[in-house]
Homo-oligomer: A and B are copies of this chain.
Amino acid sequence: MSEAISNLSRKEQVIRKAAELFKEKGYAAASMRDLAHLLGIEAASLYSHIKSKEEILRSLCFDMAAEFQKSLAEVESKKDISASEKLRNGIIGHIQVMAKDLTASAVFMNEHRHLSQPYLRDFLLMRINYINRFKSIIEQGVQTKEFKDSIDKKLAVMTLFSSLNWMPMWYDPDSAIDPSQLGFQLADMLVNGLKKND
């Protein structure tokens, strides 16, 4: 049993180190020999922990996707809150999920396209579903006249989604601003804009 536990945690180590490597070099340019070297073992030894290179990518992408789904579902379950508050909570949730693992988040965003079928298809369906649920929040805000109806909704939701997903590329976890503040400020910026309103 302690053997099973130690195998599990070794597998976790392999996956986490792979995430760093995939983020840095990109999935296609990262070799299993690179990964093995980082772990101090031979390339062939990796295969006692994982089935294939793509299995690592799959677990990184789908584990992150599950976290994002969970976070958004929690926001949607709260009734009687305004669209802007829902949007704010969705943004804060998304950013907090990313902040828990910035490396895996970067892989999720940039490397998912190297998934083979049918995984790629499943992944893209989940992503479009996630985006559409944010779009619904924006549409709800337009209906309740909270948001202006002059805005292109696709543009609005893709702007939101772009901002969220690039965060792992530039956010420094040691900086003064913490993830929930960042989410709050991003929501404020999207809802109220840069302009001074007084």
Residues of A within 8 A of B (CB): 26, 28-29, 84, 110, 113-114, 138, 141, 145-148, 151-152, 154-156, 158-159, 161-163, 165-167, 170, 177, 182, 185-186, 188-197
The majority secondary structure among interface residues of chain A is helix
Q: Which of B29, B152, B195 is the one whose CB lies under 8 Å from A146? A: B195
Complex formed: what's the CA distance from A86 to B161 in Å?
A: 25
When A26-B113, A165-B162 are in contact, do A147 and B189 touch as well, CB less than 8 Å? no
B159 touches A163 (CB 8 A): yes
Contacting residues, chain B, for A159 (C-beta < 8 A)? 163, 186, 189-190
Complex formed: what's the CA distance from A126 to B10 in Å?
A: 41
B152 touches A185 (CB 8 A): yes
Complex formed: what's the CA distance from A79 to B189 in Å?
A: 27
Centre residue among A167, A186, A193 by max chain B CB count within 10 A: A193
